Amino acid sequence: MEYERILIRYGEISTKGRNRNKFVEKLKKSVRIALTPFPNVKVEASRDRMYVLLNGENGAEVIGKLKNIFGIQSFSPAIKVERSIEVLKQTSLELVRSLYKEGQTFKVTPKRSDKGFELDTDGINHTIGGYLLQNIPGIKVDVKHPDINLRIEVRKEAIYLSCETIQGAGGLPVGSSGKGMLMLSGGIDSPVAGYLAMKRGVEVEAVHFFSPPFTSERSKEKVIDLSKKLAEIYGSMTLHIVPFTDIQQTIREQVPENYSMTSTRRMMLRITDEIRKKHDGLAIITGESLGQVASQTLESMFAINEVSNTPILRPLITMDKTDIIKIAQEIDTLEISNRPFEDCCTIFVPASPKTKPKREKVQRYESFFDFEPLIHEAVQETETIVIKPDNKQRIEFSELF
């Protein structure tokens, strides 16, 4: 039996009060963007439910897209029937019979949102369950672990039937929590941090620091490919590519080696903050995990954070590396991150970086040189690319901001 629609259930959105409609609209936008390849699909949303009307489109392919959309708790391919007991009985029989294999069990799970319907939940259960037992030889009831769970939802406008509940990605719709700038390196951690921030409703734009000739075009392609993976969630990803060579070389010349990493991170944060201001972001997102490397000790974070008052989101801060790698595998970024092309974070790494840097010292070292013109120039020459998940990309601003 072919399904005509997909019923989407809200998760955390359902706990929202007066502003629930805002979250529903964000989710509706996400669904529409994800289903752009299916021109006949229509999306209908109410305060309690959302429906995707297939209108002849491939249901399996649509389901594959819906699985990745944040804000969806679960969804079910469904059939809509009129509010008639006889029609309900016959359609239920056709649906279960199309799925039934010899020896399988079933149960009926009714939900009567409209209390005016002539049968209550027990009545629906007994009427439909009895009809199936009479008309499908060999089928048995198992209320705890059924092979087929026939869900019947009675609403004011119609009755909806489904036999499959598919888990969604959960979280909140992308964009419902504002915009943040993701400091995206070519490593394993930062794409995972971006993914988790998006799951909490943050619209993410990525900032990558590029230092040719010390970093190659292949390292740039690597970051673009990581952005494409993240773009699959929302339909696009804006990537800001910052020319960082001059600043890195100046730090190498002006700052003592064991403090060069601290200073480098401070300059990156300052530049990211300026780009955030230009693009109306509210936060900066990093892939830092506490104690993982020298620049991610609390002392290092304390020294680095000084240059910005912007909220810094660190979704991975308490996670083990093995847990981060597991998520990277699930979102299909691990293989890309493991490509052997250095980014600017891995070049000029000192032999003994300071793990407990002092703010006063790094301030003093940076005071001997005016970095402001270099920072301004890097921001002005930043290239912005809009990445599309269908492997197409276009230059949005190749000129100066």
**DSSP β-bridge partners for residue 50:** 8, 45
Q: Tens of pLDDT along the chain (401 residues)?
A: 678 999 999 988 888 878 888 999 999 999 999 999 999 999 999 888 899 999 999 999 999 999 989 999 999 999 999 999 999 999 999 999 999 999 999 999 999 988 889 999 999 999 999 999 999 999 999 999 999 999 999 988 899 999 988 999 999 999 999 999 999 998 999 999 999 999 999 999 999 999 888 888 888 999 999 999 999 888 889 999 999 999 999 999 999 999 999 999 999 999 999 999 999 999 999 999 998 777 789 999 999 999 999 999 999 999 999 999 999 999 999 999 999 877 766 666 777 788 899 999 999 999 999 999 999 999 999 999 999 875 444 444 333 33
Judge contact between 382 and 400, C-beta under 8 A: no
What DSSP element (H or E) covers 206?
Answer: strand 203-210
Count of other CB atoms within 10 angstroms of residue 319: 20
- Taking the C-alpha atoms of residue 132 and residue 200, their distance in angstroms, rounded to an integer, is 43
Q: Strand, helix or coil at 161?
A: strand
pLDDT at residue number 347: 63
Locate 105 and state its tokens: 């069990």
> What percentage of the chain's residues is helix, strand, coil (to nearest 5)?
40, 20, 40
Beta carbons of 241 and 385 less than 8 angstroms apart: yes
Residue 397 CA to residue 238 CA, distance in Å, equals: 11
DSSP assignment of 149-202 equals EEEEEE-SS-EEEES--EE---SB-TTTT-EEEEE--SSSHHHHHHHHHHHBT-
Q: Which residues of 300-313 are buried (b: 16+ CB within 10 A; e: fewer)?
A: bbebbbebbebebb
Query: Bridge-partner residues for 159, per DSSP?
Result: 81, 154
